Structure 1
Amino acid sequence: MDIAILKTAALGDVVRTTSILAGLVERYAPARVTWITAPNAVDLVRTHPLIQRVCAVDPKDPATFEGVEEKLLETSFGRVLSFDDEESMCALATRLGGARADVISGAFLDPKSGECRYTKDCAPWFDMGLLSVFGKEEADRRKRENRESHPAIFASMLGLSKGRPELHLTDEARRFATGFRARHGLDSGGPSIGLNTGSGGRWDSKKLGVESTVRTAQLLAQELHEPPTYLLMGGPEEGERNASIAAGLKACRPSIRWVDAGVDNSLLEFAGLVDGLDLLLTSDSLALHLATARQVPLVAFFAPTPAAEIDFYGRGAAVISEADDYASYRPDADTSTLTPERLVSACLDVLSRDTPR
């Protein structure tokens, strides 16, 4: 059976949606999977052995659909799994599914009303999102009260065995990461710990403050038997922030060893660096999902977004805001209870586990 998956953003959501692949192939064998995603997300799925074809479209640019859609329509898809809420993607799902009502699961464009809707089987997910038939206020409430992980929700609503997200590194990404570790002597001595405490430009309250990041690193180093090496990690918008963290670490006494991992790495290079860590301390961001997909031990902290959707598969821990506005999706959510002491305690707990990768 030919199966189309429509998932373009956000990058972390693309990664975590790969948890459905093993179950799909098991249920619909022999399955041929086509994944339709955004151009900047192609590297996150193109290496997966259960995906036969990747097509790139930008939901905001109609020109990118030209040629791609025509090629896709040459295939008669037995299942169309549509997880984006943009009108252009809903319309594409409808065209790929044709008039067969049982083909599409997820979001589609109703040809009669011209509105984006979603199928009943996928209501557990979309009832909590932008397309919710209950409106934004109720959707947000449902999301706050949800206690099921993303992989569990998707497996249940699609009738699949629960899987886990996977990201397969290229040889080039592995060589990049190996070379980086060799240059900085990261394969000898104490643990390598990634500090990915920013979150780009959209969510200020997803971030851990610079001073809190430095203090957490300092306290954790004091508790470990072997001196760690911290990797300052992030994307293009974290350059100035990471420089401030570096300045704070330089001022620590006793001295703390750290390495700037850069902010201009490609997605797979970044994933390769994450893959080599003994522990990642991260915000609710792409790095969290990369670590989960690569089975890297991690501690993630949450304030404006809920932790319940994250399955750590026994290799991580969540530190959750104790403020009243936890999981409120407020850009100014209170992060004051995400203290260095709580973060260090979680890090020590995860590092103490003997969980094979």
Structure 2
Amino acid sequence: MGDVLRTTSILPGLHEAHPASDITWLVAQGAEDLVRLQPLVDRVVKVDLDSPESLASVSADLGRTKWEWIISLDEEENLCRLASTLTTERLTGAQLARRDDGSECASYTPDSAGWFDMGLTSHHGKEEADRLKRENSQSHANIFARMLGIAEGQPSLRIPGEAYQASQVWGARHGLDGSVTIIGVNTGASGRWKTKGLDEERTIELIEFLHRELEGDVKFVLLGGPAEAERNGRIMEAFTEGGGSDAIVLDAGTDNDQLTFAAFVSRCDLLITSDTLAMHMAIARSIPLVAFFAPTSAVEIDIYGLGEKVISTADDYCSYRPDADNSTITVERLGRAALRTLP
């Protein structure tokens, strides 16, 4: 999901370079809300990647158009096949290729090597791809702008009125009236890289640290998705009556739809976040943030002057190992960065 949102950085540059063009964006089912309100996107097409019927339907739909330019950014073989079978004057990015034995494999066009050389389909093998990723000094937005020959842009996200309203009603119920600082805490990490996130103990200590430093003039909003439900529940126990703390921590829930979740993020004066969708939402909404990185690349993320990055100093930083050491992401480092970033 985060990849979809951060890729919206290419839209202003594409529009500037090709002002008369219509842009159709193909997204996996479940990510359409992240682009459907984009004013520079003329049509959003969603596909269920697990459904052959959906893939066939989308292929037939898109196959009725002769495209001027297909920008193919997903390395999944079925999407590479789709990009390769459509009629287009120009293809940039992931495509299907044939090995010497005649079998098919995911590949990419030469003009997109700056990005895909660091990926799973790298022509140079995994070891070289990992080395290039570790040594990379360019952000995702910069790499894509150079790859496409356009001006570099910033991601953006539109939020509809009903999502704003839901967050406003929730905020009013919990006294978020602008009289105190609101800090969002999104320190979980589901999926492939568990050590993208901060453990529960450090999350609790971080909230306590900021509560003390700000002399109680702050409310915290605990954020997360369905995978963080039990984790966030345990964190909340430390801040309920009898939990031993007088910090005010509000649970925003873990079952919000994407745009309501983005509206919660947008209510924050500061977001402290792991390298997850919430981080990309804060960047796209220009919300001050502190983001921390251990297994994944901090360089790849441009936060556009909105805050600070706290980066692991362990030897396996940016190794993309699921168990990468994040012990140097300390409460002190995160807390001091947050205090410096607060408006």
Query: Does TM, normalized by the shorter one, top 0.5?
Result: yes
Superimposed CA distance per residue, residues 263-311 of structure 1 (whole angstroms, 9 cap, x where no aligned partner):
0000011011001110111111010001100111111111111100111
Q: How does 1:224-263 map to 2 (within 5 A)?
A: 224=214, 227-250=217-240, 255-263=246-254
Alignment partners' CA distance in 2, 1:194 and 1:129? 32
Superimposed CA distance per residue, residues 297-329 of structure 1 (whole angstroms, 9 cap, x where no aligned partner):
111111111100111111021101111111111
Q: Conserved in 2, the CA contact under 8 Å of 1:80 and 1:97?
A: no
Candidates 67, 76, 85, aligned match of 1:77: 67
Please tell me the residue identity of whatever aligns with 1:136: K
Superimposed CA distance per residue, residues 176-201 of structure 1 (whole angstroms, 9 cap, x where no aligned partner):
11111111111232211111000114
Candidates 295, 298, 311, aligned match of 1:304: 295
Q: Secondary structure at the match of 2:342?
A: helix
Alignment partners' CA distance in 2, 1:20 and 1:256? 41
Please tell me the residue identity of whatever aligns with 2:285: R
Alignment partners' CA distance in 2, 1:63 and 1:136? 33
Q: Secondary structure at the match of 2:224?
A: coil
Please tell me the residue identity of whatever aligns with 2:95: F
Q: How does 1:120-269 map to 2 (within 5 A)?
A: 120-224=110-214, 227-250=217-240, 255-269=246-260
Q: Conserved in 1, the CA contact under 8 Å of 2:194 and 2:322?
A: yes
Q: Secondary structure at the match of 2:239?
A: helix
Alignment partners' CA distance in 2, 1:276 and 1:204? 27
Measured after TM superposition, the shift of residue 150 of structure 1 is 0.5
Superimposed CA distance per residue, residues 38-94 of structure 1 (whole angstroms, 9 cap, x where no aligned partner):
111011111101111111112332211232221211221111000000111001111
Alignment partners' CA distance in 2, 1:65 and 1:135? 29
Candidates 85, 95, 103, aligned match of 1:108: 95
CA RMSD of aligned residues (A): 1.5
Alignment partners' CA distance in 1, 2:245 and 2:108? 57
Residue 341 of structure 1 aligns with which residue?
Answer: 332
Q: Conserved in 1, the CA contact under 8 Å of 2:216 and 2:247?
A: no
Alignment partners' CA distance in 2, 1:217 and 1:97? 54
> Is it true that 1:288 corresponds to 2:279 in the alignment?
yes
TM normalised by structure 1 equals 0.92
Identity of aligned residues (%): 49
Q: Conserved in 1, the CA contact under 8 Å of 2:63 and 2:87?
A: no
Measured after TM superposition, the shift of residue 248 of structure 1 is 2.2
Measured after TM superposition, the shift of residue 29 of structure 1 is 1.5
Q: Conserved in 2, the CA contact under 8 Å of 1:59 and 1:86?
A: no
Q: Secondary structure at the match of 1:55?
A: strand
Alignment partners' CA distance in 2, 1:237 and 1:253? 26
Q: How does 1:33-48 map to 2 (within 5 A)?
A: 33-48=23-38
Query: Which has the higher mean CA deviation after the structures are superposed, 58-67 or 257-266?
Result: 58-67
Alignment partners' CA distance in 2, 1:115 and 1:201? 25
Measured after TM superposition, the shift of residue 235 of structure 1 is 0.4
Runs of 4 or more consecutive aligned structure 1 residues displaced over 2 Å after TM superposition: 58-61, 110-115, 248-254
Q: Secondary structure at the match of 2:7?
A: helix
Query: Which has the higher mean CA deviation after the structures are superposed, 133-142 or 243-252?
Result: 243-252
- Equivalenced residue count is 339
Q: Conserved in 2, the CA contact under 8 Å of 1:106 and 1:118?
A: yes
Alignment partners' CA distance in 2, 1:52 and 1:248? 47
Alignment partners' CA distance in 2, 1:128 and 1:90? 17
Alignment partners' CA distance in 1, 2:340 and 2:87? 48
Please tell me the residue identity of whatever aligns with 1:179: V
Structure 1 gap ranges (5+): 1-10, 353-357
Please tell me the residue identity of whatever aligns with 1:343: L
Measured after TM superposition, the shift of residue 139 of structure 1 is 0.5
Please tell me the residue identity of whatever aligns with 2:249: W
Alignment partners' CA distance in 2, 1:117 and 1:201? 25
Query: Which has the higher mean CA deviation after the structures are superposed, 213-222 or 113-122?
Result: 113-122
Q: Secondary structure at the match of 2:268?
A: coil
Q: Conserved in 2, the CA contact under 8 Å of 1:189 and 1:226?
A: no
Query: Which has the higher mean CA deviation after the structures are superposed, 42-51 or 184-193?
Result: 184-193
